[in-house]
Amino acid sequence: MEISVRERQILPTGLRPSQRPPRQARRFEVLRHGEMGKLLLEKGRYQEALVQVEQALALNPHDAESWCSRADVLGCLGRYEEALQSLEQAQELAGFASARLWVQKAVLLILLNRPKLALTCCNQALWRSPSHTQAWLFRGVALHGLGRFKAAYRSYQRVLEPAAPSSANSIRKLCHDLTIDHQAS
């Protein structure tokens, strides 16, 4: 679109889509495919979601969020081993600091009937985010799967606590639970 001001042509500022650098265009396409994949996942259209997420990964195989989305889709398809591999790729790219990724990994390990590894993942999540309610919940599920019912119920109790305690208090509670668990085993 051109605008004429006093017989002078003025072009709009910014780059036109045809002038967009390839890297920026690729980032946009990765984002577009990733978001389409998430929308299709929410609608239960898992195969279509997987196609979108894999297109995003084809454009940028170093995008941790796309690997995480791929794990979500594969989990919904019941392909838990592949989902776990995708999630581990996401963790590697994003660093291992995300409590959310540790919890997601724990869930997959529970589905794969590996409660001991799931428990380790939940503990990792709780060290990073001591009041992470999902980490406490799935820690309880993992402990339950190991037959450690008292410890499981202590973890479930942490989910039911009304106010989020301070981080120091949450870490103290986690250490206390780990000590009791260690003494019981």
What is the per-residue pLDDT for 8? 44
- Both 74 and 37 in one domain: the answer is yes
Report the domain count for the chain: 2
- Both 75 and 136 in one domain: the answer is no
Domain assignment present for 132:
yes
Residue the block writes with tokens 């898992």: 46
- Both 123 and 89 in one domain: the answer is no
pLDDT tens track for 118-176: 999 999 999 999 999 999 999 999 999 999 999 999 999 998 875 555 665 666 677 66
Amino acid making up residue 136: W
Of residues 179 and 4, the one with the higher pLDDT is: 179
- Both 88 and 118 in one domain: the answer is no
What is the per-residue pLDDT for 174? 72
Check: pTM over 0.85? Answer yes or no: no
Domain assignment present for 104:
no
pLDDT tens track for 57-91: 999 999 999 999 999 999 999 999 999 999 999 99
Q: What are phi and psi of 5, to 5 degrees?
A: -125, 115
